[in-house]
Structure formats: C-alpha cells, structure tokens
Amino acid sequence: MRPGAAASRSGAGSRAAGEERALTSVAAGDDFEGEEPAETPRLWHVTLSVSGDEAPLQEVRRALEQLAHDHPFLLTSRYANDHAEIRYWEEARDLHDAAAVALRLWGEHRRTAKLPPWEIVGLEVIDRATYHQRISEGYGPPSAAPVGVHPF
C-alpha cells in the first residue's frame, strides 16, 4: 500500500491521509539461542556491468587498467566502446555490504581512473560456494580470460 493511503483489508481502522502508523520493534533476544550472526568476513564474487555512450577503445582500456591498479582485487575486465564488465572478489560481512561496495566502485574511481561516464546496468553478487558450484556444474559465468583487461 502507498504511504498515506487510507484503505485497509477489512475497511475498518482506516487512517486519514498522511497519518503515521506507529512502528513497534521486535527483540530477537531469546528467539535465537545459540545462533549468532556471522560477523566473519566472507568472499563474494562480484560481476559489475556498466554501459553508456561510446568512448574510444584505447581510453576505455587505459581507464580499466588504472582501475585494476587502484583496486588490486580486480580479476578481469572485458570491454567494448560502449560497455564493460568487471569481475572481482570482495571480502565482506554479508551480501549487502559486498553489493554496497560494488555499487560505489565505478563512481568512486571515475575521476582517478578517468573512467567513462557510464552507468551501472547490472550487478551480480554470489558467495564463494555458489560460484564454485556453478563452475563445477558447467553453467557459471563464461570462463574469464586470463586476469587482466581484455576486449569482448
């Protein structure tokens, strides 16, 4: 339901437009005895896809090579004059943290690496076990070219 909407399932208890509903918290406490959230960093395989207006191939390659230098965990980049795909391993507490870092990567390095002003059009973040399972079953990401920056 949209915020401020005044309808409810039963029709009773409707709120006036703009009226706030009180939120209540639920304590996890004893509900999760013996279970502690995993705080240990894990490895996540990240594939970031970007695209935009055409740029000279030599400039795209140079920019991706600089990004690889600035971000040493970069495994491989594939590029064309209007899109690129970057793959790397990220160490993070959970998927949310790994995805947040990945979504900032292009923008934060745009100036220093002189990356094209492309937008992020795709993001995949999978845990290490899923990555290796996909590879072993033959349906994982296409085999990466040797580590480095390569044309599509």
One-character DSSP codes across 19-50 = PPPPP-----GGGGTT-----S-EEEEEEEEE
- Do 148 and 75 contact (CB within 8 A), yes or no? no
Q: Which residue has the higher pLDDT, 10 or 142?
A: 142
> In the β-sheet with 74-79, what is the strand arrangement from edge to edge?
119-127, 42-51, 83-92, 74-79, 148-151
What local confidence, expressed as pLDDT, does residue 139 receive? 80
Mean pLDDT of the chain: 79
What local confidence, expressed as pLDDT, does residue 37 receive? 52
Query: Which tens digit of pLDDT belongs to each residue from 51-61?
Result: 999 999 999 99
**Residue that the structure tokens 């064309």 belong to:** 80
- Do 85 and 75 contact (CB within 8 A), yes or no? no
Q: What is the mean pLDDT of residues 105-123?
A: 94
Q: CA triplet 124, 127, 131: central angle to 5 degrees?
A: 80
Q: What is the mean pLDDT of residues 68-95?
A: 91
Q: What is the mean pLDDT of residues 75-94?
A: 94
Q: What is the mean pLDDT of residues 131-141?
A: 84
Q: What is the mean pLDDT of residues 2-18?
A: 45
Global pTM value: 0.69
**Residue that the structure tokens 């292009």 belong to:** 106
7 has pLDDT over 60: no
Return the closest-CA partner of residue 45 out of 108, 116, 112, 134: 134
From the CB of residue 75, how many other CB atoms can be counted at a distance below 10 Å? 17
Which residues face 50 on adjacent strands? 84, 120
